Amino acid sequence: MFTPTTWRKSSYSGGGEGNDCVEIADAPARIAVRDSKTPARATLTFPAPAFTDFVGALKDPQGRLTGVRALEK
């Protein structure tokens, strides 16, 4: 089981109402994501390569999922 201990928040989350954002914690093979407003609730955990693809898709202005690897069941 992956239990993150060090969480970090984007430097871009400094402004706005409440200063809430997502936080991430990383390990060599996994990335965990949680909501900074409710840190005690559940987290999402991704294999590191899938998280990289996910962030790349978010940054694409057309919203295309280019280069996404197939997820194994």
Sequential pLDDT tens for the chain (73 residues):
667 778 988 777 765 666 678 899 988 889 999 988 888 888 889 999 888 888 887 777 676 665 555 544 4
CA distance 44 to 20: 17
Q: Could you tell me if residue 33 is inside a domain? A: yes
Number of domains comprising the chain: 1
Amino acid at 44: L
Going by C-alpha positions, the residue among 13, 4, 10 that lies closest to residue 46 is 4
Q: Counting Cβ atoms within 10 Å, is residue 1 exposed (0-12), middle (13-18) or buried (19+)?
A: exposed
Task: Quote the domain boundaries for residue 27.
Answer: 20-59
| pTM score of the predicted model | 0.67
Q: Could you tell me if residue 12 is inside a domain? A: no
**Residue 1: its pLDDT value, please?**
64
